[in-house]
Amino acid sequence: QKEVEQNSGPLSVPEGAIASLNCTYSDRVSQSFFWYRQYSGKSPELIMSIYSNGDKEDGRFTAQLNKASQYVSLLIRDSQPSDSATYLCAADTGRRALTFGSGTRLQVQP
Amino acid sequence: DADVTQTPRNRITKTGKRIMLECSQTKGHDRMYWYRQDPGLGLRLIYYSFDVKDINKGEISDGYSVSRQAQAKFSLSLESAIPNQTALYFCATRTGDKETQYFGPGTRLLVL
């Protein structure tokens, strides 16, 4: 079992809709979680980090963490075509480096 | 100027050649990392370093070596390149636990 799992997609949503991206992790030691956005051929860039159970909002983005269920999600409200990218979920177990999922490709249809 | 730089940005080499990918950072971070990315496999950790004297293998270190020449420089070498090392390579830095990792622009490597 991979330590961090994501559905590879593509997840297709119409412009203006809410995109919901999900991630599960296997290591209960994981304490911190990160969502990165990666455009094709470019480097990952941080969208949000979350450390505590519950929701964290930043503009159109909301990260949700449920440690009991070992589940992290990212909601993107009012999705725009420019949001079309691969979204990487990462977990930090504090041992070495972030462990990344394989990413979910999001397509926002105009 | 970018905080994390990688050279070269693109490289084509032949099987059996030794090549070096370089990473420099101006963020003052102690921790540096090398990842490779292949389609559908996400980012996989090759090596990481917490300071100049602390270098550790990641999940896919076979066929690679690293050198931490200074706090700001971390180089990745392929001793004898093979075609399945064709990938996108990223360097990253970090200050400490719970902190964000910042990525360089990547090096696209093609081994023929």
pLDDT of B59-106, one tens digit each? 899 999 999 999 999 999 999 999 999 999 999 999 877 788 899 999
Q: Please give, rounded to a whole number of angstroms, the shortest distance from the CA of A12 to a CA of chain B.
A: 18
| Listed residue (B67, B107, B59, B103) closest to B87, CA to CA | B107
Is B43 within 8 Å of A42 when comparing Cβ atoms?
Answer: no
Q: From the CA of B41, how many Å to the nearest CA of chain A?
A: 5
Please indicate whether, in this complex, the C-beta atoms of B43 and A88 are within 8 angstroms of each other. Answer: yes
Contact between B79 and B18 under an 8 Å Cβ cutoff? The reply is yes
B101 and A97 within 8 Å at the Cβ level: the answer is: yes
* Cβ–Cβ gap A88/B98 under 8 Å: no
**A100-109, B37-46, B48-57, B80-89: which range is least confident on average?**
B37-46
The CA distance from A90 to A34, in Å, is 5
A10 preceded by a cis bond (ω within 30 of 0): yes
Instruction: Compare all CA atoms of chain B with the CA of A43 and give the residue at the minimum distance.
Output: B105
DSSP bridge partners of B53: none
**Of the ranges A96-105, B38-47, B55-64, which is most confident?**
B55-64
Residue B8: cis peptide before it, omega within 30 degrees of 0:
yes
